[in-house]
Amino acid sequence: MSSTKPRYVYAFGDGQADGDASMTELLGGKGASLAEMTRLGLPVPPGFTITTEACRAYWAAGNRLSDELRAEVRAALGVLEGRMGARLGDRAAPLLVSVRSGAAASMPGMMDTVLNLGLNDQTVEGLADRTGNARFAWDSYRRLLQMYANVVMGMRGETLEQFLERKKEGEGVRADSELSVSALVSLVDIFKKKIFEKLTDTFPQNPEDQLWAAIEAVFASWNNRRALDYRNLNHIAHDGGTAVNIQAMVFGNMGASSATGVAFTRDPKSGEPHFFGEWLPNAQGEDVVAGIRTPWPLNKESGALEDEETLEDAMPAVYQDLLKVRQALETHYRDMQDIEFTIQEGRLWMLQTRSGKRSPAAEVRLAIDFVGEGLISEEEAILRVRPETLVELMHPRIDPDAARVVIARGLGASPGAATGRIVFDSDAATEAAGRGESVILVRRETSPEDIQGMSKARGILTSRGGMTSHAAVVARGMSKPCIVGCRDLHVDPEACTMAVHGRVLRAGDVVTIDGGSGAVMLGEVATLQPKPSAEVERLMSWVDRHRRLEVWTNADTPRDCRIAREFGAQGVGLCRTEHMFFDEDRILAMREMILAADEDGRRDALARILPMQRSDFTEIFRAMDGLPVTIRLLDPPLHEFLAATPDEVQSVAEELGVAPDQLAARYRALHEVNPMLGHRGCRLGISYPEIYEMQVRAILEAACAAAREGVVVRPDIMIPLVLDVRELELLRNVIETTATLVLASEDVAISYGIGTMMELPRACLTADAIARAADFMSFGTNDLTQTTLGLSRDDCGRFLPLYTEMGILPADPFVTLDPAVGELVRIGAERGRAVKPDMKIGICGEHGGEARSVRFCHRIGLDYVSCSPFRLPIARLAAAQAALEEGA
Amino acid sequence: MSSTKPRYVYAFGDGQADGDASMTELLGGKGASLAEMTRLGLPVPPGFTITTEACRAYWAAGNRLSDELRAEVRAALGVLEGRMGARLGDRAAPLLVSVRSGAAASMPGMMDTVLNLGLNDQTVEGLADRTGNARFAWDSYRRLLQMYANVVMGMRGETLEQFLERKKEGEGVRADSELSVSALVSLVDIFKKKIFEKLTDTFPQNPEDQLWAAIEAVFASWNNRRALDYRNLNHIAHDGGTAVNIQAMVFGNMGASSATGVAFTRDPKSGEPHFFGEWLPNAQGEDVVAGIRTPWPLNKESGALEDEETLEDAMPAVYQDLLKVRQALETHYRDMQDIEFTIQEGRLWMLQTRSGKRSPAAEVRLAIDFVGEGLISEEEAILRVRPETLVELMHPRIDPDAARVVIARGLGASPGAATGRIVFDSDAATEAAGRGESVILVRRETSPEDIQGMSKARGILTSRGGMTSHAAVVARGMSKPCIVGCRDLHVDPEACTMAVHGRVLRAGDVVTIDGGSGAVMLGEVATLQPKPSAEVERLMSWVDRHRRLEVWTNADTPRDCRIAREFGAQGVGLCRTEHMFFDEDRILAMREMILAADEDGRRDALARILPMQRSDFTEIFRAMDGLPVTIRLLDPPLHEFLAATPDEVQSVAEELGVAPDQLAARYRALHEVNPMLGHRGCRLGISYPEIYEMQVRAILEAACAAAREGVVVRPDIMIPLVLDVRELELLRNVIETTATLVLASEDVAISYGIGTMMELPRACLTADAIARAADFMSFGTNDLTQTTLGLSRDDCGRFLPLYTEMGILPADPFVTLDPAVGELVRIGAERGRAVKPDMKIGICGEHGGEARSVRFCHRIGLDYVSCSPFRLPIARLAAAQAALEEGA
């Protein structure tokens, strides 16, 4: 029976510990690290840890400390008293302990701590006698009263703090440590009186009462507002509870040979292999945390100035001890550590070690260096770098130290920072950029007509739309900072103003946007440019040896293709042809095609577009020499190519030489209530096969032209928005007929594939049938997300933020593949493979560049993911990690 | 070896037959019926049937008659010659045969026939000698030449026909039968010459050559244009092929004691149990088919006039024989038969029997009568009535005999015919209807704002939208004739005109629409009103004994509820609350709610709507006393309640007393690119819980009020467009909190359910999670179809007709449940039931009233289907048929 009873208390001390580093869930991070350091023989003040399980049992029992827990704590306390040769409440040899929270997940500063517990009116005298340092003893007692009143009794911190301040003023001193013994004695008296006045309760003189109350206070602190918010923000579950670490006190404030400090075993910003930290002589750790005194650098490498004393210089022997600890911890943990230590009268004590937070650059460098040092394997190095880290490394970002005025926040849709004058339409952007100005394009939302302006702008800001709105997708494709769905912004493109909370900005005003955080800032804010890093290159070379998933790119232009190759693209998974139609000299022909009265008229207009598309494709084939290029045939509804506002209609009508009425009527006729679900994708190809014929002709003529130059061309023709295999069969017939004609007249042998973009739930569910007519399948997860969730990416900005905030959806489904969309992709791939086991299957939505989604694609056995050029490194890393995790 | 070789020829004659009625696929309908009638001992001219398999083998061999087939035909011909005591080509005793096509599926008149085969320059003389009737012999030869030249040799029918006409003119006679022998001999000579002139080929004098060529011609006729079109229209596969029936000729044109006729064993219009048919003395069947002579009624019951001679009177003995055949066939086939017969010199010969086509009314009556006569069981009767038949019985329809001018065709979205003056907006409809005028509301498309006008109009006509566009759905709900997606119509609501192919109709012009066929007709066209039928009532009472699936209704008003109960509704599966908001006195409060600056403002406006909703619900609970009522909370996006055009904005602004600018701005802010996938359904409830609170309060206060009157209330509250179980959990909490308050203050015990409308693929895929928070689930298959197929029902009118025409989709997915949507419903139901085996699950899309979809719902084990009141009988019948088919 008793063997199944949980054990609530784990002791450590004298080189022995009941726990170890593997027990983070049970003992919390701090408790596990204290146990592990003790086992390593490092100098750790002895103590014991009350488990997180005890915390949960405490809640389950209606916030009551069980008799079992009390008994285990008393027993552990007895062991600790034996180890320290001191006893809680003993006047002659009083044991003082710290009581600290410590959850499984790091929640720095979020929960509460009580130090110097065990002091009372008697033991303070005993401490003074034993240490021969009355000032230290009374200062410790004063601190206990303050902390206890605040943490355990619930009194606001300022209430007692103000008397400390008054006392310092009265004595004419600046530092706490300068107060006289009598001042401290008097302060203790004042504190006790004030506590009783405010709370009609007294500070408990019995140290065991102090201990039980402090333990309960730490348990309770798990649910304070700060901690709740932190967990919400960091996606930490609320049901874990905290451990409580009770540890013999060591004192960094016992005089000049005492000190406290924190350090990283390597430089956390650069990752350089030097010891890096801060220290404060004659101080307790809390002084550093509270920011009361400014600490000094540990050593020269930590950036010490001439007038600052380093620990290395001040206490060389202790510093050497610390270097040994540093070495031992890195060797043991095989990672850069963030440590806390105290020096009590020349002796080093370790209070904490944990994996150190690091900058993106350091993250990569450390992984590389540890491999070089033989601490970790190449595989481990790959698994240690978070894919998001690479995102941050790729984009310029706001200097964290720069001053700024944030006027609004939207969704950070494409990372990086950009500063420029605001403009409100594509033409203005192009014009200003032509004058050499940096501009930020501000729109309610963007459409393909804005592409030109977007390509000229430094950054894009929209008041509507979500993470995969047009603006977001295109901006990420261009690797350009972008904020979307900035709801507080009222954009008036006619007046060329944007209003936000009563402030009105006009065209030409300067703003800075941070596409990572979504912040819109006034004026210019300093940014940091990313450096190209040899470490990233190195890491990427390892990554490619371990991944199975191929990584292709979504690229619409020869330039994008060249960038993508540099970033490791193994093919083009999605080349959207419609952007090509928006160039000024082409849109006219496109509009004539749409306005044509019949097929002949359409063919005339298409014939003028043909040579332009052909030359685009030729360039793309050259850029992707030897690699597959998947070209999607025309997808968007035709009305996107017409004009929207009456003014635009007028000017387009003039350009085309048709009556504005006629143009307006055609526009109205093409108007759709839900264009996303309308006449687009291959439905256009079914209605107007001549459009697809022209595109296929352009693709294959380009392929022949490139092939004649010696380029190895591998064109794949992709049919969008397939609903049923019959569409594919019909269009395959159109394509093959055209292809036969072209290849015969060009007299070049080109092999090409015909495949489909899987964007509708029905396509996924009927993938077995579709596979029969497809050479390849590519899941268009953007549209598949829209249909599976019934969520318009252009409209969801109004409620999707609320949905992720309230936890209705775990993540933005346009960023991370939603589980239901994932299931449809899995079903589609399985059914497709059941018919054609060797068919190439990939995804080409935005998710192809997002780590969690890439891992999912690996797990369900896809062949490739395709993403924006700048996200290729992320996809490569995530793919390798998925492969390694699978092997593990 | 030889046993596996297919047998190509099946003989019949002298009471013996190789085939029987079960062999329709192999022998074609005609061949199988000839074999079966022979077996029954009925007088059938002997002959043999070449199988459909032989036809397919002929194509497979590159259109070549195989030696095997030739050998089998020769053998069968030998048997036939033996039976007839005559030989093909024998001058003394020439055998004449007919060669007729006969496919498995009935394709009346679509393929070719050759009669009198076997005649040539010699045998014609023999026939004249043998019959003593030279006129008959030469007329038969003349007919053979005409048919053979046309069917076998490919000459246009008119080419020879004109010489026949000239000859009649020359002889001064009107009927073919009045031509003299010499005229006929000369005509034969002319025909032979003309054939050679036109075709440089001669009519084959060898009867066996005639036979082979005729067989090949029949095989080929399967692929003539007429037959192809017919099969496309009737969804008959193209790969079946036709059988060929070769049968000894019998002659209805051998004089006054000969005749030909067709009959139905009962009246095919009314189903009344009298023999019904037509006959022609001294004629061949082809004369009737060709419409050359007008046949006479068979008997008095067939509607004989004073001056028409009936067969009953003319040949009473043969008529008695025919009555015996009629009796034998009905007893044998247990169904009303459509027969063809020939009387040769006083002797009756049966040439065909098949199940007779019948009117909707007859279909029901026959099923009922056959049960009464003990011919079929109740279950068989239920299975024999097609659910579509009930649709036709429920609606007034265009008199098939009425003259009409069809000016356009759209999609027949809601059956029935209606005539009225055209109006172009809801107000005009209401106004004109107020003056007692019948109006047809013509719109580009309708929106909820048009409800008032739609309810006042006799019929609805839109130029856009598909089978489940707003107009279509609402019209069906109102059981009002409706045509949608009438693409040739150019509606200009400002000018109050509609233009079609250059013709312009103005407000006030009269049109008639046929919501069944989709025809728009000029002026008034006579209609037939359906009679309430005791037979339908009788059938329905049987139906309800056999179905397992419950049948609920989609009804928004107390009136709809009362109608639905009359039609057998067992509950309300979908009560849409938003239509209630469009009443003139409510829309204002609704708009104020939408324009409110904050929650308080919204609550004020909602408080004014509350009493109106409450009184609606009270009435509905009264109407549905004892039955469940499922009320869906607000679903459409808020902008649907605002005004659209600048003029409307102006007048609404005046009504509300707000600035037009403010209203316009709010409208722009609410504008969505894809409202179907936007801020609607429970997303509104999450954003503005106060709306749902008000609705729940209205529902439960109404329930309490009705309960106090003694009404048994069973409210179910349905949450629309659920994406994730968390939405349901959050809103369940809102509902339960409100409910607890209401029920406590009313002090009435009401039990209610909270469930969800499954309308998104994600909901179906996560139905296990959703089931945990749902008391019931109802699949909203309209929206589920839109999302699964990525098809906007408001926009697909532009391409969906093409899709069904081209066979890309087997049926309009908004009419018949698409297989992929069905799979999602099945997955959803399975996953939901896995968690809650007893949970009530149904569908409430338009598919709930469509027979094939209802059958599917039965098969996957749903509990109920919910449909428009007028479609309830269809759903009940289909549900019973599904249950019976399952049992079979």
Length of chain B: 888
Q: Say if strands A628-632 and A572-576 run parallel, antiparallel, or are unpaired.
A: parallel
Tokens 């983070």 belong to which residue? A24
Tell me which chain B residue has its CA closest to the CA of residue A492. B665
Contact A823 B679 (CB under 8 A): no
Q: Is A559 in a helix, a strand, or coil?
A: helix
pLDDT band at A39 (very low <50, low <70, confident <90, very high): very high
Q: In whole angstroms, what is the distance from residue A218 CA to residue A107 CA? A: 13
Q: Say if strands A628-632 and A714-719 run parallel, antiparallel, or are unpaired.
A: parallel
From the list A272, A244, A184, the residue with the least C-alpha distance to A57 is A244
Catalytic residue among B470, B579, B639, B858: B470
The pLDDT of A881-886, averaged and rounded, is 94
Contact A787 B788 (CB under 8 A): yes
Contact A789 B723 (CB under 8 A): yes
Is A726 part of the contact surface with chain B (CB cutoff 8 Å)? yes
Min Cα separation B553/chain A (Å): 26
Is B375 part of the contact surface with chain A (CB cutoff 8 Å)? no
Q: In whole angstroms, what is the distance from residue A298 CA to residue A565 CA? A: 45
* Across A403-417, A715-729, B187-201, B316-330, least confident range: A403-417
Which residues 692-721 on chain A approach chain B with CB closer than 8 angstroms?
Answer: 721
Q: Say if strands A776-779 and A840-843 run parallel, antiparallel, or are unpaired.
A: parallel
pLDDT band at A2 (very low <50, low <70, confident <90, very high): very low
Name residues whose C-beta falls within 8 Å of residue A512's C-beta, 6 or more positions apart in sequence: A398, A404, A417, A418, A419, A520, A521, A522, A523, A524, A525, A527
Q: In whole angstroms, what is the distance from residue B779 CA to residue A331 CA? A: 60
The pLDDT of A256-285, averaged and rounded, is 90
Per residue in A540-553, pLDDT (tens digit) is 999 999 999 999 99
Q: Which helix or strand (DSSP H or E) is residue A279 part of?
A: strand A276-281
Asked whether the predicted pLDDT for residue A435 surpasses 80, the reply is: no
From the list B831, B832, B877, B839, the residue with the least C-alpha distance to B858 is B877
| Tokens describing residue A53 | 């399980």
Give me the sign of the Cα torsion angle B773, B776, B780, B784: positive
Length of chain A: 888
Q: Which residues pair with B248 in a beta bridge?
A: B97
The pLDDT, as a whole number, for residue B888 is 58
With beta carbons under 8 A apart, name residues in chain B contacting A799. 679, 683, 686-687
Please give the sequence-ordered ranges of beta strands (E in DSSP) within A51-105, or none if there are none.
97-103
With beta carbons under 8 A apart, name residues in chain A contacting B760. 788-790
Per residue in A528-579, pLDDT (tens digit) is 766 558 899 999 999 999 999 999 999 999 989 998 998 999 999 999 988 7
Q: Is there a contact between B288 and B301 (Cβ–Cβ < 8 Å)?
A: no
Q: In whole angstroms, what is the distance from residue B265 CA to residue B375 CA? A: 14
From the list B699, B813, B830, B812, the residue with the least C-alpha distance to B764 is B830
The pLDDT, as a whole number, for residue A345 is 92
Option in B761, B766, B795 nearest A673 (CB): B795
Contact B730 A806 (CB under 8 A): yes
Q: In whole angstroms, what is the distance from residue B179 CA to residue B142 CA? A: 11
Is A678 part of the contact surface with chain B (CB cutoff 8 Å)? yes
Q: In whole angstroms, what is the distance from residue A527 CA to residue A514 CA? A: 10
Q: What is the DSSP letter of A94?
A: B
Does the annotation mark A682 as catalytic? Answer: no
Q: Which residues pair with B397 in a beta bridge?
A: B528
Calculate Rg over the CA atoms of chain A. 34
Does the annotation mark A470 as catalytic? Answer: yes
Catalytic residue among B482, B486, B764, B844: B844
The pLDDT of A32-47, averaged and rounded, is 97
Q: How many CA atoms lie within 13 A of B818 on its CB side?
A: 27
**Torsions phi, psi for A650 (to 5 deg):** -55, -50
Q: In whole angstroms, what is the distance from residue B629 CA to residue B866 CA? A: 11
Give me the sign of the Cα torsion angle A530, A532, A538, A540: positive
How many secondary structure helices (H) and strands (E) does chain A include?
A: 34, 32
Q: How many CA atoms lie within 13 A of A470 on its CB side?
A: 20
Tokens 């006039």 belong to which residue? B305
With beta carbons under 8 A apart, name residues in chain B contacting A809. 723-724, 726
Q: Is A12 in a helix, a strand, or coil?
A: strand
DSSP for B864-877, written as a single string:
EEEE-GGGHHHHHH
The pLDDT, as a whole number, for residue B1 is 40
From the list B765, B820, B725, B682, the residue with the least C-alpha distance to A821 is B765
Q: Is there a contact between A192 and A203 (Cβ–Cβ < 8 Å)?
A: yes
Choose the mutation target among B785, B788, B827 for the interface with A, i.e. most A CBs under 10 Å.
Answer: B788
Per residue in A650-679, pLDDT (tens digit) is 777 887 788 888 777 777 778 888 999 999
Give the C-alpha distances (Å, rounded to integers) separating B574 from A839, B467, B633: 45, 19, 10
From the list A674, A637, A676, A234, the residue with the least C-alpha distance to A468 is A676
| Alpha-helix residue ranges (DSSP H) falling in A373-461 | 378-384, 387-394, 426-434, 451-456
Q: In whole angstroms, what is the distance from residue A313 CA to residue B544 CA? A: 98
Q: In whole angstroms, what is the distance from residue B560 CA to residue B737 CA? A: 31
Which residues 128-187 on chain B approach chain A with CB closer than 8 angstroms?
Answer: none
Greatest CA separation for chain A = 107
Q: Is there a contact between A140 and A251 (Cβ–Cβ < 8 Å)?
A: yes
The pLDDT, as a whole number, for residue B137 is 94
Give the C-alpha distances (Å, rounded to integers) separating B29 from B15, B21, B354: 19, 8, 8
Q: In whole angstroms, what is the distance from residue B503 CA to residue B499 CA? A: 6
Tokens 């939408």 belong to which residue? B594
Which residues 734-763 on chain A approach chain B with CB closer than 8 angstroms?
Answer: 759-762
Is B811 part of the contact surface with chain A (CB cutoff 8 Å)? no
With beta carbons under 8 A apart, name residues in chain A contacting B798. 678-679, 687
The pLDDT, as a whole number, for residue B292 is 56
| Alpha-helix residue ranges (DSSP H) falling in B406-533 | 426-434, 451-456, 470-478
Give the C-alpha distances (Å, rounded to integers) separating A479 from A364, A371, A431, A868, B114: 21, 31, 21, 8, 76
Calculate Rg over the CA atoms of chain B. 34
Give the C-alpha distances (Å, rounded to integers) separating B62 from B53, B74, B266: 14, 22, 45
Q: In whole angstroms, what is the distance from residue B314 CA to residue B601 CA? A: 88
Q: Is B189 in a helix, a strand, or coil?
A: helix
* Across A33-42, A453-462, B676-685, B705-714, least confident range: A453-462
Asked whether the predicted pLDDT for residue A178 surpasses 50, the reply is: yes
Per residue in B203-258, pLDDT (tens digit) is 999 999 999 999 999 999 898 877 887 787 667 888 899 999 999 999 998 888 99
Tell me which chain B residue has its CA closest to the CA of residue A446. B673
Q: In whole angstroms, what is the distance from residue A4 CA to residue A290 CA? A: 43
Q: Is there a contact between B72 and B215 (Cβ–Cβ < 8 Å)?
A: no
Name residues of chain B where pLDDT drops below 70: 1-4, 108-110, 233-234, 287-293, 448, 467-468, 476-477, 479, 529-532, 643-645, 888
Min Cα separation A808/chain B (Å): 5
Option in A677, A730, A803 nearest B786 (CB): A677
Contact pairs from chain A to chain B, CB under 8 Å: 169
The pLDDT of A98-103, averaged and rounded, is 94
Min Cα separation A831/chain B (Å): 13
Option in B673, B761, B802 nearest A792 (CB): B673
The pLDDT, as a whole number, for residue A1 is 40
The pLDDT, as a whole number, for residue A683 is 96
Q: Is there a contact between A96 and A128 (Cβ–Cβ < 8 Å)?
A: no
Is B819 part of the contact surface with chain A (CB cutoff 8 Å)? yes
CA angle, corner A858, sides to A392 and A819, nearest 5?
A: 85
| Tokens describing residue A841 | 């299957």
The pLDDT, as a whole number, for residue B436 is 73
Per residue in A57-72, pLDDT (tens digit) is 999 999 999 999 999 9
Min Cα separation B762/chain A (Å): 5
Give the C-alpha distances (Å, rounded to integers) separating A471 from A574, B249, B348: 18, 79, 83
Q: Which helix or strand (DSSP H or E) is residue B339 part of?
A: strand B337-344
Option in A727, A759, A790 nearest B760 (CB): A790
Q: In whole angstroms, what is the distance from residue B141 CA to residue B131 CA? A: 14
Q: Is there a contact between B688 and B730 (Cβ–Cβ < 8 Å)?
A: no
Per residue in A464-503, pLDDT (tens digit) is 877 657 788 778 667 689 998 898 899 998 888 999 988 9
Asked whether the predicted pLDDT for residue A22 surpasses 70, the reply is: yes
Min Cα separation B856/chain A (Å): 17
Per residue in A614-659, pLDDT (tens digit) is 999 999 999 999 999 999 999 999 888 876 667 777 777 887 788 8
Q: Is there a contact between B631 and B561 (Cβ–Cβ < 8 Å)?
A: no
DSSP for B33-76, written as a single string:
HHHHHHHTT-----EEEE-HHHHHHHHHTTS---HHHHHHHHHH
With beta carbons under 8 A apart, name residues in chain A contacting B468. none
Q: In whole angstroms, what is the distance from residue B556 CA to residue B553 CA? A: 10
Q: Which residues pair with A446 in a beta bridge?
A: none
